[in-house]
Amino acid sequence: MRIPVTPTSDTGLRVRALADQAVAAALESDWTRASDLNAKILETAPDDIEARNRMGRALLEQGKLEEAKASFAEVLKAEPYNSIAIRGSQRIGSCSSITPSRPSPPPGPNPASSSRTWARPASSA
């Protein structure tokens, strides 16, 4: 006996398949593809907390900090104690507070690549 597929279950299957693909993309560090797949899920299921967390991580990995922050904030609105969103938000905070320890060298010749050779001073023994 065959069970008919209703639109609701068909949508659920599609979302699950997209979620599996999004996870696989993330495991391969294909963050652009992961964010695209999660965006498709969120079009269909805007309240999908897992997809929103995955989206936040994918955006974070792409350096899109403001978008990632917004994604994690949406999760925390719905679930204030969501550990994934809390960790993601903390990572964004630590990424945005990183400053270079020293300025970049000015353009021009690099003294380290000088063609000079240095001789060891003669010992006075």
Least confident window among 20-29, 34-43, 54-63, 103-112: 103-112
Q: What's the CA gap between 13 and 10, in Å, rounded?
A: 5
Radius of gyration of the chain (CA): 25
The verdict on residue 1 lying in a domain is no
pLDDT in tens, 67-76: 999 999 999 9
The verdict on residue 117 lying in a domain is no
Residue 87 is part of a domain; what is its CATH number?
Answer: 1.25.40.10
Task: Read off the pTM.
Answer: 0.69
pLDDT in tens, 14-40: 999 999 999 999 999 999 999 999 999
The verdict on residue 26 lying in a domain is yes
Q: Are residues 42 and 59 in contact, defined by beta-carbon separation less than 8 angstroms?
A: no
SS3 state of residue 22: helix
Q: What's the CA gap between 68 and 55, in Å, rounded?
A: 7
Q: How many domains does the chain have?
A: 1
